[in-house]
């Protein structure tokens, strides 16, 4: 299967017909907020799509950084993906238990590291169950493969990049957090973290891109109507932020679906920005 033959957003019916292909790998990328009391790895063991492997966002990260689940070094991403039995020639379909939440982060990570043959299951686990898709339990024995990463720095922004952007205004920043967190009215989930947003940022809660009941992505026509007016002026880039770089990737995925691919994600996002003593914050 070529990149052009793999839609970026796949339906559960399509996956049910193609899941047994030898060049298709399925990833459970479920992740929960630290305050949820839920354990995504345990839930995976209790039930997942046939042949799916579990991608631990917190584990496949930079252990030297004090921010949560920051991008790993390319060599560490290579090893993690190879240990999951995924090869460069494989097509990868990612899902999560929420519909679309953390799956977008793993989709984005694969693209940052040069793997374009990656898609997201529309509606996640519940959509799969709705078409009576089979389920497996436990943790499969996986034969490690070989995987090589090619890092695309243009798809990532750092704290220093964002500080420079305050002066240069090179990028328009869109924040995927809720309106109440963006304005500073609601407290951040992480105790002691300042509320508000980066100066000049716009707000677009990630779940605005999803249908309320099914948690599927809006139809492309509605998605385009929602996102196209937010495209920045000519010559300006587009960067997405959120709490810790997870739901920002939902916005990146949405813009990708309407054909705007020259975007980036601020990896440390609000947790990194608001943790600094000298970064400016706006409220309201």
**Residue 22 CB neighbours (<10 A):** 7
- Tell whether 21 and 116 lie within a shared domain: yes
Could you read off the pLDDT of 200-246 as tens digits, one per residue? Answer: 999 999 999 999 999 999 999 999 999 999 988 778 999 999 999 99
d(CA 116, CA 197): 32
- The question of whether 249 is a catalytic residue gets the answer no
Residue 145 lies in a domain: no
Residues of the domain holding 233 = 153-275
Residue 144 lies in a domain: no
Which residues does 96 contact at the CB level (< 8 Å), separation at least 6?
28, 29, 30, 31, 102, 103, 124, 125
Residue 140 lies in a domain: no
Last residue of a domain, one of 97, 130, 163: 130
- Tell whether 28 and 80 lie within a shared domain: yes
Residue 251 lies in a domain: yes
Residue 259 lies in a domain: yes
First to last CA, the chain: 48
- Tell whether 121 and 163 lie within a shared domain: no
The number of C-alpha atoms within 13 Å of 218 and in the hemisphere containing its C-beta is 20
- Tell whether 192 and 225 lie within a shared domain: yes
Residue 281 lies in a domain: no
- Tell whether 20 and 122 lie within a shared domain: yes
- Tell whether 171 and 255 lie within a shared domain: yes
How many separate domains does the chain show?
A: 2
pTM: 0.97
Of the residues 204, 239, 242, 250, only one is catalytic, namely 242
Residues 175, 244 contacting (CB under 8 angstroms): no
Could you read off the pLDDT of 150-201 as tens digits, one per residue? Answer: 999 999 999 999 999 999 999 999 999 999 999 999 999 988 899 999 999 9
């Amino acid at each position: 299967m070529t990149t052009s033959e793999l839609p970026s957003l796949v339906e559960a019916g399509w996956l049910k017909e193609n899941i047994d292909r030898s060049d298709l790998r399925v990833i459970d990328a479920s992740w929960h907020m630290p305050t949820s009391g839920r354990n995504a790895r345990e839930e995976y063991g209790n039930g997942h799509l046939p042949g799916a492997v579990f991608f631990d966002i917190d584990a496949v990260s930079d252990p030297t950084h004090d921010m949560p689940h920051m991008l790993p070094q390319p060599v560490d991403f290579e090893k993690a993906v190879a240990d999951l039995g995924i090869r460069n020639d494989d097509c990868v379909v990612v899902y999560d238990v929420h519909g679309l939440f953390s799956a977008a982060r793993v989709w984005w990570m694969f693209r940052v590291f040069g793997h374009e043959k990656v898609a997201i299951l529309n509606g996640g686990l519940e959509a799969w169950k709705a078409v009576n898709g089979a389920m497996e339990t436990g943790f499969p024995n996986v034969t490690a493969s070989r995987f090589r990463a090619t890092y695309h720095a243009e798809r990532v922004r750092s704290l220093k990049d964002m500080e420079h952007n305050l002066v240069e205004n090179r990028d328009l920043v869109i924040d995927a957090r809720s309106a109440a967190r963006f304005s500073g009215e609601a407290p951040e989930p992480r105790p002691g973290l300042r509320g508000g947003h980066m100066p000049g940022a716009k707000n677009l809660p990630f779940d605005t891109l999803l249908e309320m009941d099914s948690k599927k992505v809006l139809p492309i026509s509605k998605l385009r109507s929602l996102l196209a007016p937010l495209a920045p002026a000519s010559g300006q880039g587009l960067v997405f932020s959120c709490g810790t770089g997870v739901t920002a990737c939902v916005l990146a995925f949405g813009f990708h679906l309407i054909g705007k691919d020259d975007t980036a994600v601020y990896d440390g996002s609000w947790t990194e920005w608001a943790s600094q003593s000298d970064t400016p914050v706006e409220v309201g």
